[in-house]
Structures are given as structure tokens and as C-alpha cells.
Amino acid sequence: MSPRSIAHQKLKPIGLGCMNLSHAYGTPPSEKEAIQLLHQGIDLGVDHFDTAALYGFGNNEKLLGKALKSHRHKFFLASKCGMTGVDGKRVIDGRPVTLRATIEQSLSNLQTDVIDLYYLHRWDKNVPIEDSIGELALLVAEGKIKSIGLSEVSAATLRKAHQVHAIAAVQTEYSLWTRNAEISVLDTCQELGAAFVAFSPLARGFLSGQVTGKNALVEGDIRRGMPRFQAEHMQRNLPLITELKSLSKELQCTLAQLSLAWLLHQGKHVIPIPGTTQLSHLTENMAASEISLTDKQLALLDKVFDYKKISGPRYPAATQVEIDTEEF
């Protein structure tokens, strides 16, 4: 499959989300194991690494800085601001003064002079989007970042931001299991020339067939608090995997590869960033870009995973109010 691009930078169709090397999904790997995986990613040709100030409250950026400093010329580096850890708690803060402080810390953590793509991780609804993007535009002018991105925003907010400064990418959850982007943002990105970076493209493990409910998750795993992983919703969602298995068997690929291939067929501007802690899964995910699906196969997947068939909201109520993305 042909390369994709962000801010005119040609990239492999699939990147690497690095969050779970530091937190969120159970016990993270040791630093030694995480660094080994990142080095293996470079060897495999991964050229797009995605992190954030929030992940591990700075530790994920530090991990990438330590592991990849000597390889910096080989890859596209994305990080995020506007949501960080303060006194052990996650805080959304899009004030210009905070964003400026965060970039300085991020550059230090990542051991680099410039970040290729810097996302506003969440829109702080107490701060006009124009003010936050205005400050990021100054960081572009100063050479600290090369391009600006947004995460979990609506098409309307994207358009407002784009009027202040060109938005190079929007990052939002998108998978067969989560189709909200299709309401408007996916098409708006294409219209404005922005890449669409799909996080959780394997539905936080559901689409790979590895996570079948809350009880399979260790304490501290963020999925334990997500509605779709609760028993009443999971029992309604699991039959979808049976349909996915049938098609993956026909194509002689894994569930994860089929799910990623479907995403890549949703537009040439779509770039999935699955995360993993295992080399076998990383290798498997990167190979998904070689899978071609027919119109009939795509239509079947669309029918099986119609958004009306998905049981449960993707976030708990308290988290849902923090995002700006359109919902069905």
C-alpha cells in the first residue's frame, strides 16, 4: 500500500502508539523491554512514533528520548499537550502559558530540538480553541514544533482551529467498533488536507480477540472502567468477533490485520497507530498494510459492525463530557 503523509511528510501507512509502554493497559513492560521493542520498531521500519505529555506523566516521552535519540533522523515524532499529570492527577489545561511550559518539558524529555507534530490532546472548553492554537502557532514560528494537531474534536472545532493555523492531523479513536469519526470529522479532515490518525484502531484489544471482558483485565487497567468492557455490553458485542474470524480465516490473516486493513481502506489520509508491547504483534500490525480488501468484503464488515449494533458508550460519563467528538 502506498505511503501516507502528515504535513507533507511521507510515512508508512501504520505508525506505533506508545502509550501502553508506560501506562493504561495493565502492568507496563520494564524499561529494558520497552527500549528493546522501540529499537525493534526502528529495525522493522516504523517511521512514526506517537507519545504524549500525559502518558506515564512524562515517563513515556522520557522513554522515547532515551531509546530513540540516536535514531531521531529516521522517524516522525508526535507528542501532545493540553492534558498532563499534575500532583498525580490528570488535568486538562489549554491555557497558552501551560502549553508553553509543556513544550519545554516535552523537548527535554524527548531529548530533541523539535517535535514534528504537536497535538492539543484535549480541547480545554474553558479556553477558546483559537487561543490554544494561537500559542501553538507561535511555537511553530519559533521552530519548536513543525506542525499542529488536534485530538478528540468535532468538525466545527477543527474548522475554527484551522482558521488560526493549518491543522496537519486530527487524532481520534476509530475502528470497526468505534465509528463516530464517520459522522463528520473524517470527511472534514480530507477536505482540509489534514491526516486522520486513528488511535485504538484495534478497539483496545477487543478486535484482536484478546480481551473478552472486564474480568480478563488486571487492577489499574483503564478498560475496567469503560462501559463496553462490562459484562452486560460485552456479551452483546462478542458475537461480532465471530463474524470477523470467519473473514480473517478466508483471507488467511489475523483479526488485528483485518481490522487495520479495513481502516486503511477508509481513506488515503487515514493512519492507524496501534500500540503493543510485543514484537510479534508489532510485526503483524505493520504487515496489515499489504492486505487488500474487495468492495464486497468492505461492505460485509460495514454491515456486521454497523454502529447501531455496538453495545455501550466508549467512555464513562465523566470522561465523555471532556471530549468534543460527535457522537451517534
Regarding pTM above 0.85, the answer is: yes
Give the C-alpha separation, 151 to 196, whole Å: 10
Range of the domain at 147: 4-209+256-292
107 domain residue, yes or no: yes
Q: Catalytic: 55?
A: yes
Contacts for 170 with CB less than 8 Å, ≥ 6 apart:
149, 150, 151, 153, 158, 185, 189, 194, 195, 196, 197
Alpha helices in 56-124 (DSSP H): 59-68, 96-110
Orientation of helix 129-141 relative to helix 96-110, angle to 10°: 40
Contacts for 295 with CB less than 8 Å, ≥ 6 apart:
none
57 domain residue, yes or no: yes
322 domain residue, yes or no: no
**Choosing from 55, 118, 119, 315, which is the catalytic residue?**
55
Q: What's residue 254's pLDDT?
A: 97
299 domain residue, yes or no: no
34 domain residue, yes or no: yes
Q: What's residue 220's pLDDT?
A: 86
Residue with cell 499542529: 148
243 domain residue, yes or no: no
222 domain residue, yes or no: no
300 domain residue, yes or no: no
At CA 95, angle to CA 168 and CA 101, rounded to 5? Answer: 85
Domain harbouring 152, CATH code: 3.20.20.100
Q: What's residue 297's pLDDT?
A: 97
Q: What are phi and psi of 118, to 5 degrees?
A: -120, 115
**Structural domain tally of the chain?**
1
Residues of the chain below pLDDT 50: none
